[in-house]
């Protein structure tokens, strides 16, 4: 939950039933959970996700949730937000 806006922090991730791991000063999406999730999706889903994800930095444990959230927002709504809105 975002303390300022009182809105869920990662609504698209939450809607997909994915878990965000927050440890000490790091947040990430576990790679094993992401792999399992991709296998549950349609054949072209992972390819499109990877195309939109592009080249992002990531934790050694998995991608950062704000990057995953931005990609999902773009995939489902077509709207660029978060890390998708800025050129790296």
- DSSP string over 10-78: -HHHHHTT---EEETTEEE--HHHHHHHHHTS-TTHHHHHHHHH-S---BTTB--HHHHHHHHHHHHH-
b/e code 62-80 from CB counts within 10 Å (16+ = b): bbbbbbbbbbbbbbeeeee
pTM: 0.82
- pLDDT digits 0-9 by tens, 76-88: 998 887 777 666 5
- pLDDT for the residue numbered 9: 87
| Distance (Å, whole) CA 33 – CA 57 | 18
- pLDDT digits 0-9 by tens, 1-46: 555 556 678 999 999 999 999 988 899 999 999 999 999 999 899 9
Domains of the chain, by residue range, sit at: 12-40+65-80
């Amino acid at each position: 939950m975002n303390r300022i806006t009182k809105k869920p922090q990662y609504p698209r991730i939450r809607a997909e039933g994915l878990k965000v791991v927050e440890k000490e000063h790091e947040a990430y999406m576990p790679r094993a959970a992401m792999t399992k999730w991709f296998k549950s999706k349609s054949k072209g889903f992972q390819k499109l996700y990877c195309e939109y994800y592009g080249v992002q930095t990531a934790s050694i444990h998995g991608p950062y949730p704000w990057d995953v959230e931005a990609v999902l927002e773009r995939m489902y709504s077509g709207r660029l937000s978060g890390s998708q809105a800025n050129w790296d």
